[in-house]
């Protein structure tokens, strides 16, 4: 274990000696507790606090600055939903990039598309990827796929050097604090637009529509100024507080609502299928009203 610390954000030993992770959601005046069976890794990197733990309910979990990011039990939902909608909407995706690497789950989903020639994964913090390789997916043969290129840079700076390059860009950003703060700034959306080819599609992780609705709203508003097609969609991630989670798709030409879903690579999947692909764009009224305000 690198840089051992005495206590990490959110971890608490109870009187009965049990270890719990408490994820604080200040917007709701609420904390969600995860019982920790074993703390496997913890360190303070140059960018954030990184820990990996075995939890009682969700299996192995990657935690950054006290916030759960991905788990071995329900991570498939997030990884499939951030990647397949754009990949199946674009008729022939060749160049794919993602900002935010972590355990590289979305890159493994992108590999399922034969037309994809290159997958650039831009991650600010190499320590996260290294820790995930040891503790999260050490057995994954997919990690050796020659199409994947890891780039250890700040995505905000990196994207400013890309013009008209990518068919698909997945913004797998963490919450808007720490190293990910810049990935929510208005100019970032313009840089994403400019880095895409003329038929390009981007997808942004956009948080909870219930307790961080300003993120969803801000993402949609910024993208509507730039793209002709902007569509939020939802999925349910049991690990995340409140369950319901949003992504926003922004496209220059192709709409997922008219996509040929025979392209969707879903035979392996545990969450997405053609019906769910279509249904994920149907929004409850409280989200529709929020976006129309
Ligand atoms: N889906 C991923 C997985 O399978 O593990 C989880 C990715 S996690 C939501 C977000 C990742 O973005 C973290 O690994 C974090 O270090 C990285 N990140 C945060 N800010 C960044 C930035 N400015 N540039 C590039 N990566 C960043």
104 Cβ contact partners less than 8 Å away, ≥ 6 residues apart:
121, 129, 132, 137, 143, 148, 150
**Is 179 known as a binding-site position?**
yes
* Residues β-bridged to residue 78: none
Q: Tell the residue number behind the tokens 């690579």, with chain if given.
A: 265
> Considering only CA atoms, which of 114, 118, 96 is closest in space to residue 172?
96
| Phi, psi (rounded to 5 degrees) for 109 | -70, -40
Q: How far apart are CA 126 and CA 192, in angstroms?
A: 22
Q: What pLDDT digit, counting tens, does each position of 130-155 carry?
A: 999 999 986 565 567 899 999 999 99
> For the sheet containing 19-25, what is the strand order?
11-13, 19-25, 30-44, 49-55, 59-64, 67-71
**Is 139 known as a binding-site position?**
no
Q: What pLDDT digit, counting tens, does each position of 189-237 carry?
A: 999 999 999 999 999 999 999 999 999 999 999 999 999 999 999 999 9
Res 276 pLDDT > 70:
yes
Confidence of residue 27 (pLDDT cuts 50, 70, 90): confident
What does DSSP assign to residue 180? G
Atom of ligand 1 nearest to the CA of 48: 16
> Considering only CA atoms, which of 130, 227, 219 is closest in space to residue 173?
219
Is the distance from the beta carbon of residue 125 to the nearest atom of ligand 1 less than 6 Å?
yes
Mutate to test the pocket of ligand 1, among 156, 173, 182, 240 (most ligand atoms within 8 A of CB): 173
Confidence of residue 277 (pLDDT cuts 50, 70, 90): very high
Q: What pLDDT digit, counting tens, does each position of 45-93 carry?
A: 999 999 999 999 999 999 999 999 999 999 999 999 999 999 999 999 9
Report the separation in Å between the CA atom of 180 and the middle of ligand 1, taken as the mean of its atom positions.
8
| Residue 4 pLDDT | 43
Is the distance from the beta carbon of residue 101 to the nearest atom of ligand 1 less than 6 Å?
yes
**Is 155 known as a binding-site position?**
yes
Q: Tell the residue number behind the tokens 């000696």, with chain if given.
A: 17
Q: Indicate whether this model's pTM tops 0.85.
A: yes
Q: Which residues are catalytic?
A: 172
Report the separation in Å between the CA atom of 262 and the middle of ligand 1, taken as the mean of its atom positions.
30
| Residue 1 pLDDT | 39
């Amino acid at each position: 274990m690198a840089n051992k610390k005495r206590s990490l954000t959110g971890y608490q030993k109870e009187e009965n000696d049990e270890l719990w992770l408490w994820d604080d959601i200040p917007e709701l005046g609420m904390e969600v507790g995860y019982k920790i069976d074993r703390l496997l890794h913890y360190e303070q990197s140059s960018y954030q606090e990184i820990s990996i733990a075995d939890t009682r309910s969700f299996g192995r979990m990657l935690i950054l600055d006290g916030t759960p990011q991905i788990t071995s039990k329900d991570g498939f939902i997030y990884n499939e939903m951030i990647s397949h909608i754009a990949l199946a909407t674009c008729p022939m995706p060749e160049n794919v990039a993602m900002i935010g690497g972590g355990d590289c789950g979305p890159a493994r989903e992108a590999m399922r598309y034969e037309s994809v020639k290159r997958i650039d994964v831009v991650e600010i913090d190499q320590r996260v990827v290294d820790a995930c390789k040891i503790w999260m997916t050490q057995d994954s043969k997919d990690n050796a796929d020659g199409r994947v290129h890891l780039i250890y840079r700040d995505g905000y700076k990196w994207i400013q050097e890309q013009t008209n390059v990518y068919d698909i860009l997945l913004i797998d950003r963490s919450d808007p604090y720490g190293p990910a703060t810049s990935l929510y700034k208005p100019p970032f959306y313009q840089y994403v637009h400019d880095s895409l080819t003329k038929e390009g599609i981007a997808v942004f992780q956009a948080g909870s529509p219930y307790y961080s609705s300003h993120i969803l709203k801000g993402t949609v508003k910024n993208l509507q100024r730039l793209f002709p097609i902007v569509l939020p969609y939802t999925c349910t991630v049991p690990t995340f507080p409140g369950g319901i989670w949003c992504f926003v798709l922004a496209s220059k030409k192709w709409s997922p609502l008219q996509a040929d879903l025979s392209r969707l690579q879903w035979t392996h999947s545990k969450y997405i299928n053609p019906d769910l692909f279509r249904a994920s764009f149907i929004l409850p009224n409280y989200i529709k009203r929020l976006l129309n305000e």
